[in-house]
Chains A and B, each alone.
Chain A
């Protein structure tokens, strides 16, 4: 599940994905925090990056495509929280 907030000064989690549940596809790696790099700071501690897939019908109320369609995004751990299995 992508968190709703809090706001971040330089944020790489798009608003349209916030509050949506998805499935982790892959643990991508350990990266310097872009929100800190953006202010000329070293970007430590590093943060884990996850590749997450979301069904379009989970994101949008009135999705006009196929039920199978998805969005995939690479999101940092501090913007994600686990959801209960459905």
Chain B
């Protein structure tokens, strides 16, 4: 039976990295965005949907991408799924932001 990427209990692994850092401001913003999007008042999508979206990532993505980066990618997918923002709007806005920086 095929395991999903997140279903890791019991898989062979390596020593745990105990290094800790205070969350960066970037990470805090993503965390805050997620809390608000999944809050009862806003309810853009459920936390179950977030988990599912992360599980739909490739195994490669799952191991290589950072924790908050995975959240960000899932948030993007779910906002589009729910019709809150469109793919086109996101692409356009990223372009505009890049242009602003120059």
Contacts and interface: CB of A to CB of B under 8 A. Distances in A.
Q: Do A and B come into direct contact in the complex, CB within 8 Å?
A: yes
Interface of A: 4-5, 7, 9-11, 14-18, 34-35, 37-40, 59-60
Contacts of B46: 37-38, 40
A38 B49 contact: yes
| Chain B residues touching A, range | 10 to 19
Contact of A38 (B1, B7, B9, B51): B51
B55 interface: yes
10 contacts: A5-B1, A10-B55, A11-B4, A15-B1, A15-B3, A15-B7, A15-B9, A34-B48, A40-B45, A60-B10
A80 to B, nearest CB: 17
Contacts of A38: 46, 48-49, 51-52
B1 A16 contact: no
B82 A40 contact: yes
Nearest to A5: B1
Given A14-B9, A40-B49, 20 more contacts: A4-B1, A5-B1, A7-B2, A9-B52, A10-B48, A10-B51, A10-B55, A11-B7, A14-B7, A15-B1, A15-B3, A15-B7, A15-B9, A15-B10, A16-B10, A37-B49, A38-B52, A40-B45, A59-B10, A60-B10
